[in-house]
Structure 1
Amino acid sequence: MRRSLPRLAAVTAATALGFAVTAGVAAAGTTTAQENPVPEPDDFTSMYTVMATPDTIVGNDGNAVPGEPGATGEFHFRINSDDEIICYDITLRGVTGEYQSPAKTATHIHEANAGEPGPPRLSFPDPAGDGDVRTSAGCLQGPFTTGLEGDNGEDTATGFSLAAIEANPAGFSADTHTADYTPGAVRGQLTQVPMGGVETGAGGTSAGPADTAGYALGAAGLATVAGAGVVLARRSRAGR
């Protein structure tokens, strides 16, 4: 029987791990129209990060096209595939202009390998904000829809399960589309990252208040984990 992974404990070790925990990010963007928003669950089965850049954009014809120069995106996803829930924390920097997509929003996870196009499977509220930074955060539960009709006449999310991401995360990309960069302003492939209670020697895997505020594990945090040999423990969900 598969084991679920709890949220990472937001304790003093979080700083060393490179977590960015902010209540503002967790609250941002949640008022954008969502089809089925839900509260964050108590635990997750996997977690992923995306470092999106403008030099990875691919058009529908499979040819590389430029994204928005200087723009970047950080996408952090937490999945509970048992309950078909995905939580997201998205930060875009330097993405300008209006969003544009034939789907219901312009921010997606596509089923697409690196360097290849692919249909959107998940559609997220577009990040919003003043100035150079736009953010969006929340949780969605399936069944999912994108609002985009596929070649078979059905919504491109029809029948999609989050287990597909867990089976092959490198086969999925995250991006956002704008009026000036309709193939994509920034894009990047999903990379799975460790998830579990952090053994700190001072509280074990207990969740702290910042846990409910959301978090983001960046590339620097991954390097710290690898270099410091931090122990990431798993805990079974009660009743599972």
Structure 2
Amino acid sequence: MRRNLPRLAAVTAASALALTATAGIAMAQETEVPEPDTFTSMFTVMATPDEVIDNDGNPAPGEPGATGEFNFRINSDEEIICYDITLNGVTGEYESPAKTATHIHEAAAGEPGPPRLAFPNPEGEGDTRTSSGCMQGPFTTGLEGDNGEDTATGFTLAQIEANPAGFTGDTHTAEYAPGTVRGQLMEVPMGGVETGAGGASDNSAAYALGAAGMAAAAGAGVMLVRRSRAQG
């Protein structure tokens, strides 16, 4: 029995080390958090099938008739991103080598690029799928890059704020592996929505404009306010 003790101790130590390493990985992953009181920026994506490309940059049209609205609110000081994602006409099961199939990739229009953020896949009955929440970094995608590290390693939300056109939102299914819909991030000005009556509309009305409305408002120089998430 005594001769087995050193071996047993070594196995126990190795197991403890493995558990510690696993715990460290878990702690390094992003955390779902409440919506912060303030944001440093806000972005929208109008995602369509015709924008999808494959890993070589070749056109790979997504699911016909599908659309996506990706709305993001960022607090880069606290490394928090809040998301409201709505997919219409997306069918079939999600599939991706990353831990989820709904992403922000670091990729300019018409170019491939690695995922930097992975969001919970939108779910729902019928033709519409939705996903909402807030998460705080450090972030992980579950996908290993060419350097052997997770593709979110070293990524910060300030990179999106510095160059939103260099990032794209998309989602993937088994039938449309390159993507069902895709679109570039576009910054939405923070502030109040002018009502034309000497005042500003409330936050919920402004946010309810959706991606298309937000894009049109931004193009017209209208300032949008952030939505305050209902507390339940």
Shift of 1:35: 4.6
Shift of 1:221: 4.1
Tell me the equivalent position of 1:103.
Answer: 98
Could you tell me the TM-score, scaled by structure 1's length? 0.74
State the one-letter code of the partner of 2:80.
I
Aligned positions of 1:147-226 closer than 5 A: 147-198=142-193, 210=204, 215=208, 217-224=210-217
- For 2:223 and 2:83, how far apart are their aligned partners in 1? 24
Conserved 8 A contact 2:82-2:133: yes
Q: Which protein has greater RCO, CA pairs closer than 8 Å, 6+ apart?
A: 1
Give the alignment partner of residue 75 of structure 1, picking from 54, 70, 77: 70
2:58 is aligned with 1:63: yes
- For 2:194 and 2:94, how far apart are their aligned partners in 1? 42
Shift of 1:63: 1.0
Structure 1 runs not aligned, ≥5 long: 1-33, 234-240
The 10-residue stretch of structure 1 (35-44 or 90-99) with the greater mean CA deviation from structure 2: 35-44
Conserved 8 A contact 1:76-1:216: no
SS of the residue aligned with 1:78? strand
Conserved 8 A contact 2:56-2:112: yes
Conserved 8 A contact 1:89-1:215: no
State the one-letter code of the partner of 1:196.
G
Could you tell me the TM-score, scaled by structure 2's length? 0.77
Aligned positions of 1:14-163 closer than 5 A: 35-163=30-158
Structure 2 runs not aligned, ≥5 long: 1-28, 226-232
Give the count of matched residue pairs.
Answer: 195
CA RMSD of aligned residues (A): 2.4
Tell me the equivalent position of 2:14.
Answer: none
User: How far does the alpha carbon of each residue in 1:84-108 deviate from its partner, in whole angstroms, 9 at most, with x for none?
Assistant: 0000000000000000001000000
Which structure: greater helix fraction?
Answer: 2
Conserved 8 A contact 1:89-1:216: no
